[in-house]
Amino acid sequence: MASHPLRPAMPPTPTPTEAPPAACLNCGAAFGTPPPRFCPDCGQESRVRAPTLMEFIQQFGGAYFATEGALWRTLKLLVLRPGELTRQYLAGRRKHYVLPLRLYLSLSLPVLLALRLLAGADLGPVHVKADVPATRPANMRIELGGGSTGLKDGQFFCTGLPEWLCRRAQRRIDLEPAAFQREVSGIGERLAGNLGAGMFVLLPAFALWLKLAYAGRRLRATEHLVFALHVHSAWFLLLGVSLLGLDLLTLAAMLAAPAYTWMALRRVYGGRWWPTLLRAGLVSMLYGITLTATLLVLALWAMLA
């Protein structure tokens, strides 16, 4: 098939033993003689060959996980100086640090995975297991807006809810005792698996409440979102510490979270301590409401989906 008249045909990909091509394999820019090591237009290597296993390892861990790499430099600033990472980013100093979204994903995904595993398994000294009734209860009730569903005297009922939702609820509730036990045991794992999706609501909501609390600062919503990503990254670090199952570490993490957030607010947004405390209280209240509503929706989805 002929190439498009406005788009020059790309040269064929060489094998590792071939000489460097006459044009860039990435952008098609012509090379001179002798061909350069890197394309002057796009910067890609002029000679492309199949990657080795060692190159894959270097690509994965080179600058990112090295002792002096961006990740450790970023973590040091994130942990030891609350809010400073956001200040550096907003000031334009971004080259030497992991970008906010990448940092958040790097820290949150392992913790969310650990939560999902711990929802129904024993991992070393940590034991997390839902309390499952020995038999199916005769009476239980789940309120869903203006309707309800559950068991009454051992019989399934569903009132004031759409028919499709009643069918879903019956598949989860109206079961034999053994199947009911398995179903209840899986709720925690399903809930933990849905937490990542819930963060797509919580992160923008946190940024929105910050914008409301600091309306006079004339910052863009995306700038508040950078702060939200950094603070949530720190919270996931603390959550990861609490998953170690040591009561003292769990207590320390719970106390550190609000203190860290307050110090980060002071460093990024400035202001005297008591207005910061009032704004932090407003953001905490609104975020708490959002968090509660999100967890309720996720819990209902885990039970009925």
pLDDT at position 51, please?
A: 65
The pLDDT tens digits of the residues spanning 245-260 come to 888 999 999 999 999 9
Same domain, 170 and 211: no
Amino acid at 148: S
Place of tokens 């700038």: 223
DSSP H or E segment with residue 140: strand 140-144
Query: In the prediction, which pLDDT does 170 show?
Result: 81
289 to 123, 166, 227, 256: CA distances (angstroms): 32, 27, 20, 21
Residues 163 and 258 in one domain: no
Identify whether residues 178 and 195 lie together within a single domain.
no
Q: Examine residue 17 and state whether it is found in any structural domain, yes or no.
A: no
Same-domain status, 113 and 262: yes
Q: Is 122 helix (H, G, I), strand (E, B) or coil?
A: strand
On whether both 263 and 284 belong to a single domain, the answer is yes
- The reply to whether 221 and 258 lie within a common domain is yes
**Whether the Cβ atoms of residue 48 and residue 25 lie closer than 8 Å to each other:** yes
> Same domain, yes or no, for 103 and 194?
yes
Beta pairing, strands 140-144 & 147-152:
antiparallel
Residue 31 in domain: no
For position 125, what pLDDT does the model report? 36
User: pTM of the prediction?
Assistant: 0.68
Listed as ranges, residues in the chain with pLDDT below 70 are 1-20, 50-51, 54-69, 119-136, 144-145, 176-188, 303-305
What does the pLDDT read at residue 24?
A: 86
Helix (H), strand (E) at residue 164:
helix 163-173
The parent domain of residue 217 ranges over 99-125+188-304
Determine, yes or no, domain membership for 159.
yes
Same domain, 237 and 110: yes
Instruction: Report yes or no: 173 and 150 within 8 Å, Cβ to Cβ.
Output: yes
